[in-house]
Structure 1
């Protein structure tokens, strides 16, 4: 988590133990490393939360160019057998 977020491991430990309160910037970087937005982090109703595998796919797709996302969508449609 430290490597992915750029937040020192000692800071993460202090946040987890309640010894330190994260700044918005630190919290944003931690959320980014987890593949979620700040809005998702603060959302009260988590009943419709996506499963980890779908969150991972979305996180990866966010890093693609628009053209790559279009190619991915076509590939996935082919995989599922649909032509929507």
Structure 2
């Protein structure tokens, strides 16, 4: 598994910069850049902190299906994760109505 690509994928999905992520979890920004460039691997503790800051679980981090999604879907997923259950229901109905056209 490419840890760096996965972190960058989820970071871009959420819409947070590497600097902002590093600041949020108390790491030096160069550490995030090194991890994303595969020059370094995160410790388990750092990976847990990164996942928490990105709003994902370790299980989600290690799931591979999202890698096949394009940037448009990644961006949508990042937005959907921020919605309330009621908003998600509304969005589902909207998408269903759009797909019928």
State the structure with more CA Rg. 1
Gaps of 5+ in 2: 1-17
Q: CA offsets per residue over residues 29-78 of structure 1, 9 Å max, x none? A: 26864x865335435x66x7222221221221111000000111111112
Q: Kindly report the root-mean-square deviation, in angstroms, between the aligned alpha carbons of the 2 structures.
A: 3.2
Deviating 4+ runs (over 6 angstroms): none
Aligned in 2, Cα 1:53/1:31: closer, same or farther, shift over 3 Å?
farther
Q: Which one has more relative contact order, counting CA pairs under 8 Å at least 6 apart?
A: 2
Aligned in 2, Cα 1:69/1:61: closer, same or farther, shift over 3 Å?
same
Between structures 1 and 2, the one with greater helix share: 2
Task: Tell me the number of residue pairs that the alignment of Structure 1 and Structure 2 aligns.
Answer: 77
Give the match for residue 82 of structure 2. 63
TM-score (norm 2): 0.52
TM-score (norm 1): 0.60
Give the match for residue 46 of structure 2. 26
